[in-house]
């Protein structure tokens, strides 16, 4: 269910987030690069940029509980699709209506696939899907297939599950969950962009959750690059845009 989270404290009461000692300067905003440079932080919570050598202004978090703690004072949106009618309860897109990516435009959140593939709401209650979630093309384990001349299943029914999500107004913190797969194959990544389309941060670290807290550059878009033909399809859930 889309919920409006109550602000329990002002930004100033919560930030800045202490980030430990000053890290090595970050030349590329990826956790892998950061680790090589000797930066501080755990594998699930990494400070990518600091202000004044102490206060973390850009934090990538891949643990949902840690992200919840780091954003507990921020109002915003949680879109989990659970209020939508996703019937019938079966594991195929065949004869199913596509999801309108502008369904949540009234709260400034728009979903799209950069290749123009349709989106669907996968019904909660499937063995791999506890609650309604957002799928690109067909569902995981979906038997529906349209064979093409070169692919067993022609696009958009192959597993090229890229997704773009835009936030207007932009958010101080954004996060989402991946089901039944992950980002981590060669060439896959999650990028967080500002309102000018410039990347704030990018990660190719395998995870089932991605969250970014960006104090200096609000997040206007999340762009997920998920590869076709690498034996993995995914769905998405629990999109959060906080502090907008």
**Which residues are at the interface with Ca ion (CB under 5 A)?**
80-82, 131-132, 136-137, 159, 161, 185, 226, 232-233, 237
User: Pseudo-torsion of CA 147, 180, 101, 163, nearest 10°?
Assistant: -80
CA angle 163, 169, 208 (to 5 degrees): 35
Write down the least CB distance from residue 236 to Ca ion, Å: 9
Q: What is the DSSP letter of 95?
A: T
Query: Which residues fall within 8 angstroms of residue 65, CB to CB, at 6 or more apart?
Result: none
The smaller minimum CB distance to Ca ion, of residues 199 and 230, is found at: 230
Smallest distance from Ca ion to CB 189, Å: 11
Measured distance CA(54)–CA(131) in Å, rounded:
40
Q: Whole-number minimum distance, CB 111 to Ca ion, in Å?
A: 13
Comparing CB distances to Ca ion, the nearer of 63 and 92 is 92
Smallest distance from the beta carbon of 155 to Ca ion, in angstroms?
A: 11
120: closest CA among 230, 222, 233, 208?
233
Which residue's CB is nearer to Ca ion, number 39 or number 156?
Answer: 156
């Amino acid at each position: 269910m889309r919920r409006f989270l109550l602000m329990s404290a002002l930004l100033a009461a919560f930030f800045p987030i202490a980030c430990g000692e000053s890290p090595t300067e970050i030349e590329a905003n990826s956790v892998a690069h950061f680790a090589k440079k000797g930066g501080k932080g755990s594998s699930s919570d990494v400070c990518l940029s600091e202000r004044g050598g102490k206060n973390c202004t850009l934090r990538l978090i891949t643990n949902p509980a840690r992200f919840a703690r780091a954003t507990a004072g921020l109002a915003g949106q949680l879109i989990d699709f659970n209020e939508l009618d996703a019937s019938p309860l079966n594991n195929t897109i065949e004869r199913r209506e596509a999801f309108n990516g502008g369904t949540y435009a009234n709260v400034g959140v728009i979903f799209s696939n950069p290749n123009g593939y349709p989106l669907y709401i996968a019904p909660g209650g499937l063995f791999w899907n506890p609650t309604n979630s957002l799928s690109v093309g067909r569902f995981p384990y979906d038997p529906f297939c349209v064979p093409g001349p070169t692919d067993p299943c022609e696009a958009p029914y192959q597993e090229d599950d890229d997704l773009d999500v835009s936030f207007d107004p932009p958010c101080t913190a954004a996060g989402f969950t991946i089901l039944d797969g992950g980002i981590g194959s060669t060439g896959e990544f999650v990028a967080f962009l500002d309102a000018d389309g410039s990347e704030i941060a990018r990660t190719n670290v395998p995870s089932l959750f991605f969250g970014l807290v960006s104090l200096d550059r609000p997040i206007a878009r999340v762009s997920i690059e998920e590869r076709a033909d690498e034996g993995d399809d995914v769905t998405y859930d629990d999109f959060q845009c906080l502090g907008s």
